[in-house]
A and B are shown apart, each in its own frame.
Chain A
């Protein structure tokens, strides 16, 4: 291991922020000459970014230095100029020139381990209340799933004969963003622009937000009472027989969703799919929305015509089928298109999340 390389590692361990290319070397400050290889350039550059953004804990510093990046990508790279030139293997690099994606691989692996190790105890649901409205929430999964879980924990489990089925909806761009956000937590979705492109290519709405089809499917099931499409969230407490609604997470921004997607894949290396969704919802999601509040993902311009047409078809189907709609049926139509604002990058967000520790139970 080169003296300059070791000195840079120690510099970073002590909170230094000097880039490798500007680091003038000097003694490492260590007494014992250490054998072995330096940590990869990806790990070291991530540590430098953490130092630039805040003060990582000594525990986090060691975790970064010892980390392996999960998934496919470039192997742990050597620092350019840190040692004799090798004839084989990947070329050494200037770590500051590494693309964000390489640093993100390391960061998401670390966040995933934090998520897995800080699993909260399971929630014991309250005993079902004797007098409760029989309901079932379907449609927009980003709202229906956590709302149902919160109501069930409060002694209002869904289902039962004659249940009122509430098909939750919103304007189509919002619903698409929420379907994507929901799927990011399950690790089975491409990045947002590709997701919208695929929906467009299929020319078919995601199953859960094709509200008319959802309502038709629900109506055909035995034991179903009144089926309503709810486009007005303020009406929900009355329909569910509660005074106030449990809080549901705010919409994820595109960087937050992208980070969730990547962390979900890394978490899937450690826990089974049902545990994965639970952990991400209960551990990662609250931290993500706290770290990056902002607008939901914006539909790329090349798909907006299709989204407008699909929303118009949905509006027509809902009106023709004659389902009771709580709110304005035109609420499924897109509003004025917003432009994507300057959000933090996914790497910025990952760094913020790592610095925001401590994660409960992480060792």
Chain B
């Protein structure tokens, strides 16, 4: 039975991919320090979360069957501290949370700590829209904002957004059975600060201080896109969604175009919260800060980080972008696709040459008189009942199915 389980349940866009990459790459170092990060593959905890929460995910769910129980069994069997981390766990229901905590040994001697990393809504709102667009969404920014602001939260977008972003509600659901000192809220520093500050906060919350982790190899994944790039991607989604299956969308659109091409265009205007929504966001943030303080959780960082930056001076509306900028992003995208297509054509040519060589070798082998004689006898025998019976007997004696 684990002595301690550190359960990092979100929120998305708070450096979680980086944390998970550090943990994944340093599994052995962690194990030597008596810390378990149980993962056979880099997305093992994502699969476990899908399984726990019964979420279909573009066909990936078939790889997730039984993943939570398997992870929980590894955690229970480990004598020490175990870490589990995935940001979509933030949206789990009370029933799923009850099942998760029980399966990890909560109430049976294991000390469960909850870790929630949080970032201001000024950055989270545009980041979530962009994430939706990178997952095939076609809706515009204004439409997204309307759905997020709808108090009913009845749409897919609204319910998911608040499910993974409403800090007091997430803490209420996940932390209802935990003492407040076992609930750790890690705040993401304001933009422009030193990047290692966030890692130091995670390290403190996850009890990793003093563990000689290699941070050099880890990827600060999930790069962000600018305004024209996100608009371009949304337009691409509109054109390809009906025809491009998820298995092709992931490598071609999300990876090749979004992450490897468009995210490298750093000089285009960045996505931002519309200035007129700042007062609304500010009132929400204040209420959250007050509530988290009142509950007495362990805060790693500064709750004022949740206030967010003031409105940008020059707001670029992604629903009305500068078409020249979108066109330039489009040209970069076409260039990438052409180069990739050229690479694939060369691969096809090389493979075709190999196939031709093999076919030639096969034909030369078939052209021998002895093969032609055996083939003629075989076809003759196959054409009659007696012949087929004889062939079966021959195969039985030879122990194989070809003459």
Contact pick for B163, options A70, A75, A201, CB 8 Å:
A75
Tell yes or no: A66 within 8 A of B by CB: yes
A87-B287, A161-B382 known; A269-B56 Cβ under 8 A: yes
Interface of chain A residues 48 through 66 with chain B (CB within 8 A): 66
Q: Please determine whether A74 and B54 come into contact, CB atoms closer than 8 angstroms.
A: no
Q: How far is the CA of A22 from the CA of B160 in the complex (A)?
A: 31
A170 to chain B, nearest CB (A): 25
Interface of chain B residues 104 through 128 with chain A (CB within 8 A): none
Which residues on the A side are within 8 Å of B54 (C-beta)? 68, 70-71, 109, 266, 269
A-facing mask of B53-67, CB < 8 A → 1, else 0?
011100101101100
Q: Please determine whether B94 and A89 come into contact, CB atoms closer than 8 angstroms.
A: no
Q: Please determine whether B156 and A90 come into contact, CB atoms closer than 8 angstroms.
A: no
Q: How far is the CA of A98 from the CA of B96 in the complex (A)?
A: 22
A319 to chain B, nearest CB (A): 30
Chain A: which residue is nearest B176 at the CB level? A37
**Which segment of A231-239, A244-252, A270-278, A305-313 sits at the interface?**
A270-278
Tell yes or no: B172 within 8 A of A by CB: yes
Contact pick for B93, options A76, A87, A268, A272, CB 8 Å:
A76
Residue of A68, A270, A273 most packed against chain B (CB within 10 A): A68
Q: How far is the CA of A99 from the CA of B156 in the complex (A)?
A: 13
Chain B: which residue is nearest A76 at the CB level? B93
**Which segment of B26-34, B146-154, B356-364 sits at the interface?**
B146-154
Q: Please determine whether A268 and B61 come into contact, CB atoms closer than 8 angstroms.
A: yes
Q: What's the tally of chain A residues with a CB closer than 8 Å to chain B?
A: 31
Which residues on the A side are within 8 Å of B11 (C-beta)? none
A-facing mask of B153-195, CB < 8 A → 1, else 0?
1101001101100101100110000000000000000000000
B-facing mask of A62-85, CB < 8 A → 1, else 0?
000010111111111000000000
Tell yes or no: B386 within 8 A of A by CB: no
Tell yes or no: B243 within 8 A of A by CB: yes
Q: How far is the CA of A266 from the CA of B53 in the complex (A)?
A: 12
Q: How far is the CA of A202 from the CA of B242 in the complex (A)?
A: 8
Tell yes or no: A91 within 8 A of B by CB: yes
Q: Please determine whether B56 and A88 come into contact, CB atoms closer than 8 angstroms.
A: no
B-facing mask of A254-272, CB < 8 A → 1, else 0?
0000000000011011111
Interface of chain A residues 193 through 223 with chain B (CB within 8 A): 198, 201-202
Residue of A70, A74, A109 most packed against chain B (CB within 10 A): A74
Tell yes or no: B81 within 8 A of A by CB: no
Chain B: which residue is nearest A187 at the CB level? B56
Chain B: which residue is nearest A190 at the CB level? B242
Q: How far is the CA of A109 from the CA of B162 in the complex (A)?
A: 23
Q: How far is the CA of A109 from the CA of B173 in the complex (A)?
A: 22
Which residues on the B side are within 8 Å of A265 (C-beta)? 56
Tell yes or no: B95 within 8 A of A by CB: yes
Q: How far is the CA of A71 from the CA of B96 in the complex (A)?
A: 13
Which residues on the B side are within 8 Å of A90 (C-beta)? 153, 159, 162
A277 to chain B, nearest CB (A): 12
Contact pick for A72, options B154, B156, B172, B287, CB 8 Å:
B156
Tell yes or no: B91 within 8 A of A by CB: yes
Chain B: which residue is nearest A161 at the CB level? B382
A73-B159, A88-B291, A272-B65 known; A201-B242 Cβ under 8 A: yes
A-facing mask of B281-314, CB < 8 A → 1, else 0?
0000001000100000000000000000000000
Which residues on the B side are within 8 Å of A40 (C-beta)? 93
Which residues on the B side are within 8 Å of A66 (C-beta)? 95
Q: How far is the CA of A302 from the CA of B173 in the complex (A)?
A: 47
A87-B168, A91-B153, A202-B243 known; A76-B94 Cβ under 8 A: yes
B107 to chain A, nearest CB (A): 14
Q: Please determine whether B62 and A273 come into contact, CB atoms closer than 8 angstroms.
A: yes
Chain A: which residue is nearest B151 at the CB level? A91
Chain A: which residue is nearest B155 at the CB level? A74
Q: Please determine whether A198 and B291 come into contact, CB atoms closer than 8 angstroms.
A: no
Residue of B51, B56, B172, B173 most packed against chain A (CB within 10 A): B56
B92 to chain A, nearest CB (A): 9
Which residues on the B side are within 8 Å of A201 (C-beta)? 242
Q: How far is the CA of A202 from the CA of B241 in the complex (A)?
A: 12
Which residues on the A side are within 8 Å of B172 (C-beta)? 88-89
Q: How far is the CA of A346 from the CA of B352 in the complex (A)?
A: 51
B174 to chain A, nearest CB (A): 12
Which residues on the B side are within 8 Å of A68 (C-beta)? 54, 93, 95-96
Interface of chain B residues 16 through 66 with chain A (CB within 8 A): 51, 54-56, 59, 61-62, 64-65
Q: How far is the CA of A40 from the CA of B59 in the complex (A)?
A: 28
A-facing mask of B240-275, CB < 8 A → 1, else 0?
001100000000000000000000000000000000
Contact pick for A88, options B51, B93, B169, CB 8 Å:
B169
Chain A: which residue is nearest B64 at the CB level? A269
Contact surface of A with B, Cβ cutoff 8 Å: 37, 40, 66, 68-76, 87-91, 99, 109, 161, 198, 201-202, 265-266, 268-273
18 inter-chain pairs at a CB distance below 8 angstroms, sorted by A residue, are: A40-B93, A71-B54, A71-B56, A73-B159, A75-B163, A76-B95, A87-B168, A87-B287, A88-B168, A88-B169, A88-B287, A90-B159, A90-B162, A91-B152, A161-B382, A268-B56, A269-B64, A269-B65
Contact surface of B with A, Cβ cutoff 8 Å: 51, 54-56, 59, 61-62, 64-65, 91, 93-96, 151-154, 156, 159-160, 162-163, 166, 168-169, 172-173, 242-243, 287, 291, 382
Contacts A70-B54, A71-B56, A72-B159 supplied; 18 other A-B pairs, CB < 8 Å: A40-B93, A68-B54, A72-B160, A73-B159, A74-B153, A74-B159, A75-B93, A76-B95, A88-B166, A88-B287, A89-B172, A91-B152, A91-B153, A198-B243, A201-B242, A266-B54, A269-B55, A273-B62
